[in-house]
Amino acid sequence: MSVKRIALCGAHGTGKTTLLELLKSEYQLEPLARTVRTFWEDHGIDDFEKLPKEVRNVFQKHLLLNQIDREEAQAEVGFITDRSILDYMGYTVASSDMSGVELAMYEALVRERLKQYTHFIYLPVEFPAKAEHLRAHPEIQQKVADVLESYLQKWLKPEEYCIARGSVEERMTTIREFLDKE
């Protein structure tokens, strides 16, 4: 069996962590979970949207680099992550104000890094997210999803990723079919 580097992608509240928990054991993969929450907790952030936009830009860059470091550390043995590098792009576009050149560089890095995943799974918004501590505000959920979907359409061919919809069981069936075809 080849090494799997699986990314679950989607706005907050779409079920990424739930699916990660189900898939990590089944495929014997190291989970890379709670990257954003852990980073915020470690830096005393309790509401990202209350930070000035220029501070959000800095955090988005650090989050992206932290994710890349974590993925690189597990690349040879495989992993499953509940936050892809594309997710960081979505949140950056939706809630920051990076300049044109800076954003273009960020996009180039994210687009190139997408090639590192062996399997990319997108979870669309199917129900509104609930407000909770350390989660982006619910009204941002669809905005982020729209950004993610636009990048998916621009950067990946339909056969290069899977869209999982429906109940947890329906999503698991779709994901298993995608992961098991090689």
Percent pLDDT > 70 in the chain is 91
Full-model pTM: 0.89
- Cβ(5)–Cβ(119) under 8 Å? yes
The residue that leads in pLDDT, 95 or 93, is 93
Domain boundaries, the chain: 5-180
Lowest mean per-residue pLDDT among 71-75, 85-89, 133-137, 138-142: 133-137
Confidence band for 182, pLDDT divided at 50, 70 and 90: low
Instruction: Domain 5-180: give its CATH code.
Output: 3.40.50.300
CA–CA separation, 95 vs 57, rounded Å?
Answer: 9
